Amino acid sequence: MLIVLFVHDEWTFDHFHTQSDRIYRVYAREDWGEKQQFFATLTPLPMGPALKENFPEVEKQVRINPVSSQLQQGDAKFNERVIIVGQDFFDVFDFEILTGDRDALHKQSGVMITERIAKKYFGETNPINKVISLQLGESF
């Protein structure tokens, strides 16, 4: 039963995206010698652009990097798990945007937040054009 469930999950993973048959995930295989081979879904940042540049069949590339960070809104600071994605994210994936504009990812300071995060930081106030700070390095 476990094998059937595993195979079903693998064959239907992310099929809710309209272009799911054209979405691929890159795995990195590192070979450091005997008994030191590693497979990782986190790939080096230059890999996406390098694949797009060297393989004409790669139409778009999206890097997805989960990181722990500190968010600040006003004087309140919270530790959050954030996901940094490439600007073509919504050209590849069909996630629903409740409010705002998918082009926010094309702006250097643009962010998109989930409904849960919007309520946590802004309550019932519309979060569009509000300021939220994200710490990725030593300071905001």
The residue ranges of DSSP E strands in the chain, in sequence order, are 28-31, 37-40, 64-73, 76-85, 133-135
Mean pLDDT of all residues in 9-18: 76
Regarding pTM above 0.75, the answer is no
- C-alpha of 117 from chain center: 16
> How far apart are alpha carbons 109 and 101 in whole angstroms?
14
Q: How many CA atoms lie within 13 A of 94 on its CB side?
A: 9
What confidence category does residue 137 fall into, taking pLDDT thresholds of 50, 70 and 90? Answer: low
> How far apart are alpha carbons 8 and 76 in whole angstroms?
43
Which residues 6+ apart lie within 8 Å of 133 measured at CB? 71, 72, 73, 140
Which residues 6+ apart lie within 8 Å of 130 measured at CB? 73, 122
Mean pLDDT of all residues in 24-39: 82
- Residues 63-107 have pLDDT tens digits of 888 888 888 888 888 898 888 888 888 889 988 888 888 888 888
